[in-house]
Amino acid sequence: MDDCIFCKIAAGQIPSRKVVETEDVLVFWDIRPTTPVHCLAIPKKHIASLDKAGPEDARILGSVALAAAEAARQLGVADSGYRLVANTNRDGGQEVFHVHFHLLGGRRFGWPPG
């Protein structure tokens, strides 16, 4: 998609700090980290949000989750633990409409979220 920032990152047109990359998926550092580990796991294919994903996207979304788990291992937070978060639509706080999972780690989180 032409004016999507994450499509441009996936295509290498905007630089990013990559952690894991496969043919279909990219995990890279968030530009404004909110936790000691804060990465974003995205499919290279443009899907606007989890709300817009369909059954045809099941495999790629599984690959995104697995790539996030691999990134967590590489960044040393798998054993201590981490969170994967997909902010979705307005109440979810979604700002970039290319589906992504925040990989958050390096500190302990409370539950439920505020």
Instruction: Tell me whether residue 26 or residue 77 sits nearer to Zn ion (CB atom).
Output: 26
Cβ atoms within 10 Å, residue 13: 9
Q: Tell me the C-alpha distance between 113 and 94, whole Å.
A: 16
Residue 32 binds which one of Zn ion, ligand AMP, none, with CB within 5 to 8 A depending on kind?
A: ligand AMP
Binding test (CB under 5 A) with Zn ion, winner from 38, 45, 46, 83? 46
Taking CB under 6 A as the binding criterion, the range among 52-60, 62-70, 72-80, 93-101 that sits at the site for ligand AMP is 93-101
Greatest Cα-to-Cα distance within the chain, rounded to the nearest angstrom = 39
Binding test (CB under 6 A) with ligand AMP, winner from 12, 14, 59, 76? 14
Residue 98 binds which one of ligand AMP, Zn ion, none, with CB within 5 to 8 A depending on kind?
A: Zn ion
Nearest-approach distance from CB 73 to ligand AMP, in angstroms: 21
| Selection from 96, 19, 10 nearest residue 60 by Cα | 10
Q: Tell me the C-alpha distance between 113 and 96, whole Å.
A: 21
| Selection from 85, 87, 107, 109 nearest residue 97 by Cα | 87
Q: Could you tell me how far CA 51 lies from the centroid of its own chain?
A: 15
Per the annotation, the verdict on 98 as an active-site residue is no
Site for Zn ion in 67-96 (CB under 5 A): none
Binding test (CB under 5 A) with Zn ion, winner from 98, 102, 103, 105? 98
